Structure 1
Amino acid sequence: MGDDHKEETPESLPFLSTGETETSSEKRRNLPGDADKIEDVVQDTACGFWLFKGRFMQRFATEKMYVILYGLAGCVMTMTFAYFNGTITTLEKRYKIPTKISGIISVGNDISTMLTAAVLGYYAGNGHRPRWMGIGLLTIVAFCLLTGSLHFIYGAGEDALKLTREYGGQSQANESVSDPQENKKLCQTSASGCIQDVGLWVPQVFLFGAQLISGVGQGLFYTLGIAYLDDNGTKSKTPAMLSLSTFLRMLGPAIGYSLAAICLRMYIEPTMEPLIAKEDPRWLGAWWLGWLVLSVMSLIAALVLFMFPKELPSARKRRMDNRQPDSKAETDIKELSFGDMLKSIKRLGANKVYVNNTLASILYFFGYMAYWIFTPKYIETQYRQSAAMATMATGTVALGFSAVGVLLSGYVISKYKPSARAMAAWNAIVDFMTVAGILCYVAIGCEGSDSLNSLATLSAGNSCSASCHCDYVHYAPVCTPQNVTYISACHAGCSEKAKDDLGRTIYTGCKCMTSLNLISDPETQFALDGVCPVNCFNQFLIFLSVMCFLKLVGASSKSTNLLIALRCIPPEDKTFALGLGSMAASLLGFIPSPIFFGWLIDNYCLVWGKTCSNKGNCWLYDTKSLRYALNLTAASFIFVAGFLNISVWYHAKNLKIFDENERTEKKSADKDLELEEYTLTKLKSQDSK
């Protein structure tokens, strides 16, 4: 038996088996192509790779299986980005990162997507797309491992360890013993030195580099995956398949945020006992733990995508049925050149539906990116919820409504087959409904949270606090009997520290309370450790209800927007157009938006965690001003996107979304059966030599 034909036996390629072992010479003469082309057909439609292949695997080379596994792989990918967003406030606190810098870090993946999506989509689109997608997921594995490794390099940090019972065990035994480090946060008669933080820029560069790597995989996965789905599926089923894959993909953020919520409930050093509650702003959760889980899941997803063939057998059959008698062999690959790419760009630039639809998407993304990335932070600052609660609400609850919206839209599109104009009109309606919902955010504030921050800032800026030299004191809030929060015991002018009968840390001799006319009795000039309680839960529930409605409505336009994008471009430009659109979205939307909104959020910071080298992360915000500025700015971009979708509606009058004649999908399979029989006989004859 010849080794050179070992991998082409019927046992390794059972999808060619029809149960027949002989083929007439008359049938052979009617078959197109020769043995070499048959071998190409076999290789291009064979499921599996390397050692991972066999008879049992070929049954999975179907449209439905690809949609399910592609959706699940996308689910894993979106889990990683959602997990990063869910833990971003913890990363800011741990590594003292301003919001503007965290915004820059979060767009690292979009920068690399912008630089690589169009080129990779153009060249890799003519290769083995599933394997390129698998390579893309391997970059996600690297992203997870690099991000999580920061904890093993730098540890939990001294600030977090100081808040554990194990770290301060010896001094806990005797509170009368004065701790010089602890006394630094009490009122000082002379200026104390600034806090030295060495090398904090290294984690920021590390996080940004990991994001850059993930962007290459993101561009490969989405650009090639959608084109592969559309090329290998029947047109009538495309809306349903897109909705199913999108639904599965949208489970990722929900699971990712839930995983973040679980990890953040554990202390950053799980083996130690923290002395503060989860609701305390100083709480740092085990943000690093989830990255280990996500790296394993991403690796499994990459291996699964490697299994799929270059072209599904059913898609090849349809393509052979539809080809012209004088056409070139289907295995011929078009020569690619930079000139061809420029011609494609020129064709797409003249396509008004494509241009307006892409611009509308970019403006929508620009406005809504603020909520995709900073919603947990928004909930924490506006409604005084813990990081775990904010992450769970953003992920599990709100994104569940997004999944329902995708499924409903897919069902409606598949059943009623609306026109391109109807889809564009719905996209515009969704934009204006989103603007209305965001305006509701402006009105949903919490008076207790607003007044808490204003009083804290007032206490920080008075002359009494200035005389205590509190500029470089760590954020360690204390609460007065009048329910006023001070940034630290130093800012309250406290001079002594002790324990009360309940075991709580109490600061006494807080002279700065009188400077705000809060209290005049020296005997009651004390403060308890921790922030004053604020009840914003009802406002939080109202905000969550509006957010869930917007998620439901917004998700319903995902399939319609993508269908218009797929159908308004010629088949030969499809993969490149998707890559070019992804590049434009990154350049004009995904990259500048987080940076811009991060800068906007930082502008309303009231209390910075100052260090010698920089001002670190923000601890308190002007919540009322921030609420107005953030929401009104985001709404303005989405409002303009609605008018661009109206322009899409105007130009899409002749655009066909569904095939009017699908008779080719119902043709007799006799010709395909003959091809399979002939191929089987060829392979057997070669194997017997």
Structure 2
Amino acid sequence: MSVEKKTAREPCCSKLKMFLAAMGFVYFAKAFQGSYMKSSVTQIERRFDIPSSLIGFIDGSFEIGNLFVIAFVSYFGAKLHRPRLIGAGCLIMAIGSFITAAPHFFQGPYKYETSISHFSASNDTESILPCLTNGSLTHDNEIPTVEIQAGCEKAASSSLWLYVFLGNMLRGVGETPVMPLGLSYLDDFSREENTALYMSLVQTLGIMGPVFGFMLGSFCAKLYVDIGAVDLDTITINYKDSRWVGAWGLGFLLTGGVMLLAGIPFWFFPKSLPKQGETETEKKSNVLEGEQDRFIPDNNKHSTAPNKPASMAVLAKGIMNLPAVALGIITGGFIMKKFKLNVLGATKICTGTSLLAFSSMLIQYFLQCDNSVGLIIQCLSNRAPQVSYQQNTLISSCNMGCSCSLKHWDPICASNGLTYASPCLAGCQTSTGDGRDMVFHNCTCIGESPLPFANMSSVLGQCPRKSDCDYMFKFYMAVTVIGAFLSACGATPGYIILLRTINPELKSLALGIYILIVRTLGGIPPPIYFGALIDRTCLKWGTKQCGGRGACRIYDSGAFRNAFLGLIYGLYSLSYVLWGILYNRLSHREKKLALKNQLKAPEQDDNGVSSGNGNVSSAIVKCSENPDQETTI
């Protein structure tokens, strides 16, 4: 009598589940660190006075770091101690985060461009303001001497952005073994039907990282960069101003510490584990040695939404968008496990959800706010308000005798609801108050405006947009959340496609080549050419302390939307050509497998007896006439 072998019940705290929990934590820490970097690039761009194209190059340094070690990880990683390699990667990522934060503490006090700091007065007195006739302000054609230029550049520490580049590149080096080795470790030692569920759980925990990362980025963006070192009452800008720089370096210290903790458990896991459901003595010797990675496009630092302050934008993205992504990843993994879909089914899910997400992105093109309020506006006499894109249009009869510099960016909001580039260009004569509470009076350009106005006064900062922008922003966020959910539903099926379409013998090499191509074409160039494209939509460039063009202060929202979304639409359309080719190849593959299985399956008669022409390569038939003769069929 045969005794049926019972499968040993897996303990609730098995090593595989502990590894799963550790992977979830490191995914959280990795996403926490990466999302904070994304939320801080605007602050870094302003702090170092660099254009979007250069900040895109800095952002792409993460992918450059990946490329340095991807060949080693692809070829040797699966043969070495995978958990310890992941632990070492976490240590490198923590060091990279600390190096990224270093310039925040090395640089001197932040000096933003302004023309009014020397004209502030106490609350009970008035002060003469920049609209002067003696030409006391710096003219646009003044160029510092070589000696002054060199000393100024040194004092500004403009080259310290290289530390950010190096730290971000080290983060890329350390991140390389986490995804391919960690997920292949789970795939090797878990049941095949559980792989999709485990991957979706890891990714879901990872999605929680950006929630906290963007919240931290929003918090640090509201803290002044030199908090604790300067008197905040003397600062004339707030976090809504385009010249504001938050305390970006503090967050990198925290994210580096979390990453350091996340890597500790991996130093104590064994090189291999028994297959899930087996004991140590039943452990298979031939485990698959492979690794995998999947490029997920990074969120660009810019958004096509009706523009909110940077701190509010990243907070909205973290609280509303990312939970939808987490739910989408869980949904995709549940569908794969519930319906036991094959590779072709996973391809259908990926393509379908991508098309739906693309449809939601098409809707975003029509969500915009009025571009005529909150920008650089100069009211000409006896004419309607004009949006000023060129510097020479900022001068009119109301400010012609003020000796105004066209390079200064000190936006003020007038009582008529228009934004002027500076108090001087608005023709303001006097001011009261100090710091952010300054109020400007007797602004002659306001008086010549054809729009209704209560008085000829103005306050610091750009005017708020119209009330319908708040409604438009809420609608935009709703569409974005739906699109994020739909796109995330295809994440887990995408991983399954990668794992199931590669031969076990070639898994490591094939995935290494795949990752190399993705990092080279999809990771490094996009931030650079997207940044260069965005730079072309800038309306007002800032001015560095030493002269020359600094960071962009304000963009043409219409041109920004056309360029940014237009390029994304083109790339999306190209991806569907590739999806079509993949689906065609996989469908042919499934048909061949089905035909092969049909030929292997033995045909049975009505009594359930095999007819013999199934999985038989040859049959020996003895002829009844000559029993000694054998014929091979």
TM bucket (normalised to shorter chain) is 0.7 to 0.9
Contact kept? 2:241, 2:461, Cα under 8 Å: yes
Measure how far apart 1:556 and its partner are. 0.7
Q: More deviation in 298-307 or 260-269?
A: 260-269
State the partner residue of 1:472: 407
Instruction: Please name the residue that 2:77 is paired with.
Output: 124
Which of 316, 336, 348 is the equivalent residue of 1:393? Answer: 316
Structure 1 residues 208 and 501 mapped into 2: Cα distance closer, same or farther (>3 Å)? closer
Q: Helix, strand or coil: the match of 1:606?
A: strand
Distance 1:373 1:176, change over 3 A: same
Partner of 1:292: 253
1:384-463 equivalences in 2 (<5 Å) = 384-447=307-370, 452=375, 455=386, 457-458=388-389, 460-462=391-393, 463=395
Instruction: Determine the C-alpha separation between the residues in 2 that align with 1:461 and 1:646.
Output: 52
Report how far residue 150 of structure 1 moved: 1.3
Distance 1:420 1:330, change over 3 A: closer
Q: State the 1:434 CA deviation.
A: 2.4
Relative to structure 1, the CA distance from residue 504 to residue 635 in structure 2 (aligned partners, 3 Å threshold; closer, same or farther) is same
Distance change >3 Å, CA 451–CA 573, structure 1 → 2: same
Quick check: 1:533 aligned with 2:464?
yes
> How far apart in 1 are the matches of 2:371 and 2:136?
28
Whole-Å Cα distance in 2 between the matches of residues 399 and 558 of structure 1?
14
TM-score if structure 1 supplies the norm length? 0.72
User: Distance in 2 between the 1:103 and 1:121 partners?
Assistant: 27
- 1:537: how far off? 1.2
Q: What is the number of equivalent residue pairs in this alignment?
A: 555
Tell me the distance in 1 between the aligned counterparts of 2:424 and 2:176.
Answer: 50
Cα separation, partners in 2 of 1:316 and 1:614, compared to 1, 3 Å: farther
Answer yes or no: is the 8 Å Cα contact 1:187–1:470 preserved in 2. no
The answer on 1:544 being equivalent to 2:477 is: yes
Matched, 1:378 2:303: yes
Amino acid of the residue matched to residue 442 of structure 1? Y
Q: Of 50, 60, 63, which aligns to 1:110? A: 63
The 5 Å alignment of 1:13-28 reads none
Q: Does 1:147 align with 2:100?
A: yes
Partner of 2:627: none
The verdict on how the C-alpha distance between 1:183 and 1:143 changes in structure 2, with shifts beyond 3 A counting, is farther
Q: 1:322 to 1:523 in 2, by over 3 A?
A: closer
Corresponding residue SS for 2:206:
helix
Q: How does 1:36-55 map to 2 (within 5 A)?
A: none
1:284 is displaced (CA, Å) by 2.7
* 1:73-472 mapped onto 2 (5 Å cutoff): 73-159=26-112, 172=122, 176=126, 188=137, 191=140, 193=142, 198-199=153-154, 200-271=157-228, 272-274=231-233, 275=235, 276-314=237-275, 321=282, 369=298, 372-374=299-301, 377-378=302-303, 382-447=305-370, 452=375, 455=386, 457-458=388-389, 460-462=391-393, 463-464=395-396, 468-472=403-407
Q: What is the TM-score of this pair, normalised by structure 2?
A: 0.78
Percent identity over paired residues = 24
Listed one character per residue, the Cα deviations across residues 157-204 of structure 1 (whole Å, up to 9, x for unaligned) are 1239999xxx99996478556699x98999849557468652454122
Q: 1:169 to 1:74 in 2, by over 3 A?
A: farther
Letter in 1 for 2:405: C
Higher mean alpha-carbon deviation, 632-641 vs 447-456, is at: 447-456
| Residue matched to 1:68 | 21
- 3-state SS, counterpart of residue 443 of structure 1: coil
Counterpart AA for 1:571: P
Q: State the 4+ residue runs in structure 1 displaced beyond 6 angstroms.
A: 160-163, 167-170, 177-180, 182-187, 500-503, 520-523
Q: Which amino acid counterpart does residue 303 of structure 2 have in structure 1?
A: Y
After superposition, the C-alpha distances for 1:580-630 in whole angstroms (9 at most, x for unaligned) are: 222211101111111111111111000000234531110111101111221
CA deviation map 1:69-100 (0-9, x unaligned):
10210110111110011111112222212111
Structure 2 vs 1, CA of residues 453 and 557 (structure 1 numbering), >3 Å: closer, same or farther?
Answer: farther
Corresponding residue SS for 2:341: coil
Deviation at 1:490, TM superposition (A): 2.9
Pairwise CA distance, 1:647: 1.9
Change in CA separation of 1:204 and 1:269 when aligned onto 2, cut-off 3 Å: closer
1:168 & 1:613 partners in 2: Cα distance? Answer: 20
Residue of 613, 618, 625 corresponding to 2:559: 625
Cα distance in 2, alignment partners of residues 638 and 526 from structure 1: 49
Instruction: Report matched runs for 1:589-628 at 5 Å.
Output: 589-611=522-544, 612-628=546-562
Deviation at 1:285, TM superposition (A): 2.3
Q: CA deviation at 1:507?
A: 3.1
Q: CA deviation at 1:550?
A: 0.9
Structure 1 residues without counterparts, runs of 5 or longer = 1-57, 324-328, 335-343, 349-353, 661-689
Q: Which amino acid aligns with 1:273?
A: L
Note closer, same or farther for the CA distance 1:317–1:249 as it changes in structure 2 (3 Å cut). Answer: same
> Structure 1 counterpart of 2:89, which letter?
G
- 8 Å Cα contact 2:240-2:309 kept in structure 1: yes
Task: Tell me which residue corresponds to 1:37.
Answer: none
User: What amino acid is aligned across from residue 204 of structure 2 in structure 1?
Assistant: F
For residue 43 of structure 1, what is the aligned residue in structure 2? none
8 Å Cα contact 1:424-1:649 kept in structure 2: yes
- Kept in 1, the 8 Å contact 2:358–2:483? The answer is no
Most deviating of 152-161 and 414-423: 152-161
CA distance in 2, matches of 1:136, 1:392: 29
Contact 1:492 1:510 in 2 (8 A): yes
Matches of 1:518 and 1:575, distance apart in 2: 69
Bigger helix share: 1
Q: Corresponding residue for 1:34?
A: none
The alpha carbon displacement at 1:646 in A equals: 2.2
Give the Cα–Cα distance (whole angstroms) in 2 for the partners of residues 522 and 321 of structure 1. 85
Task: Using the TM superposition, give the Cα deviation of residue 304 of structure 1 relative to its aligned residue in structure 2, in angstroms.
Answer: 1.6
Q: Which moved more, 1:390-399 or 1:570-579?
A: 570-579
- 2:160 corresponds to which letter in structure 1? P
1:562 aligns with 2:495: yes
For the residue of structure 2 that corresponds to 1:418, the secondary structure is coil
For 1:251 and 1:291, locate their aligned partners in 2 and report how far apart those are by CA, in whole Å.
18
Note the residue ranges of structure 2 that are not aligned, 5 or more in a row. 1-10, 378-385, 598-633
AA aligned to 2:413 is: C
For residues 259-308 of structure 1, the C-alpha deviation after alignment (integer angstroms, 9 at most, x for no partner) is: 11122233323334355443333333222221121111111111122121
Shift of 1:209: 1.1
Post-superposition Cα deviations, 1:466-512, rounded to whole Å, max 9, x if no partner, equal 87352432x21012222111121233343x33117999423345455
